[in-house]
Structure 1
Amino acid sequence: MSGALDVMQVAGSGATVLVAEMVKSGWESLRGAMARLFRRGGEENAEVELRLLDAARQRLADSPASERADVARQLRQELLIQLAAFLQKFPDAAEDLQELVKRTGSQEEASSATLVAENNTNSQVILSGGSISTAGGSFTYQAPERPDSRG
């Protein structure tokens, strides 16, 4: 990958994924992948880069909920600069970072649920994080009766 535009694009995608993943349960896995990426610059360089990454995550985690979006936006900019500088020094890492961004995005898409409930007048939608079962093997729900509006 050559050219400043490519590096900036990859760094921007990387920064976006990093900030999004910082507050999720899969952070340690992503951090480990970033550590491997940063080791392309040597062990000492990797430690410095990871300290910056950890400090950014801590800032996001410590930020009040009302300020979290602003902190996340600021961190995306800072991480963009950090990743772009790293990729300028180690351009061979750009493909690895790009692959990591794709892999993380596809994992997120695969693990997220989508619900669409259309044209369900007089019905109820039930969401479950797991299976719903009953002893009899069937599930029946009757909507509450409406009060008689005839007066």
Structure 2
Amino acid sequence: MDFMQVAAGGAAVLVAEMAKSSWEAVRAAMARLFGRGGAETAEQELRLLDAARERLVGTVDGERASVARTLEQQLLIQLAAFLQKNPEAAADLQTLADRSDETGEVRAQVSVHHNTGSQVLIAGGSVTAHDFSYGASQERK
């Protein structure tokens, strides 16, 4: 597996997700991935990831694209180095990158158990079923 290619896809997804409301789900997925390197490594890698996100969201709009490109390169290097030390994590990072659609949004996988007598609705957009309709807010699109 080409670690640089996997790292590049992962870095692009991470930068795309950093300013979105779905960031916490992506961060949790990365925490699990980094956990393959041990607790101390995971903590260090997440600190770098959190610092990158803070830099991006703290940037004024006119400079955000430039900062995003720089962060994508830095994350590429970080992820490639991590994958070289933890090659078994490459498949997980590739899965994360593959789950992103053309807008860069990562889809979450959710399991619901033991919910008898109730309904569960999880949606990333508008939902319509029979006479029920729920529209996602326009700001999320």
1:103 alignment partner in structure 2: 99
Instruction: State the AA in 1 paired with 2:19.
Output: V
Q: Which residue of 2 is the match for residue 149 of structure 1?
A: none
Where does 1:56-67 land on structure 2 (aligned, <5 Å)? 56-67=52-63
What percent of counterpart residues are identical?
63
The structure 1 segments of at least 4 consecutive aligned residues displaced by more than 4 Å after TM superposition are 109-113
Q: 1:54 maps to what in 2?
A: 50
Matches within 5 A, 1:1-150: 1=1, 6-105=2-101, 108=105, 130=135
SS of 1:41 mapped into structure 2:
coil
* Residue 117 of structure 1: aligned partner: none
Segments of structure 2 that go 5 or more residues without pairing to the other structure are 108-123, 127-133, 137-141
How far apart in 2 are the matches of 1:14 and 1:52?
15
Deviation at 1:104, TM superposition (A): 3.0
Deviation (angstroms), 1:108: 3.2
Kindly tell me: are residues 102 and 112 of structure 1, through their superposed partners in 2, closer, same or farther at Cα, counting changes over 3 Å?
A: farther
State TM-score, norm by structure 2.
0.73
Letter in 1 for 2:36: R
Residue identity matched to 1:61: V
Shift of 1:54: 0.1
Residues 1:101 and 1:112: Cα distance change in structure 2 (over 3 Å): farther
- Counterparts of 1:70 and 1:15 in 2: how far apart (Å)? 15
Structure showing greater Rg: 1
Say how many residue pairs are matched. Answer: 112
State the TM-score, normalizing by the size of structure 1. Answer: 0.68
The answer to whether the Cα contact below 8 Å between 2:17 and 2:106 also exists between their aligned partners in 1 is: no
Q: Return 5+ residue gaps in structure 1 as ranges.
A: 114-128, 132-151
Counterparts in 2 of 1:68 and 1:112: CA distance versus 1, 3 Å: farther
SS in 1 for 2:50: helix
The structure with more strand, counted as a fraction of residues: 2
SS of equivalent residue, structure 1 residue 104: coil
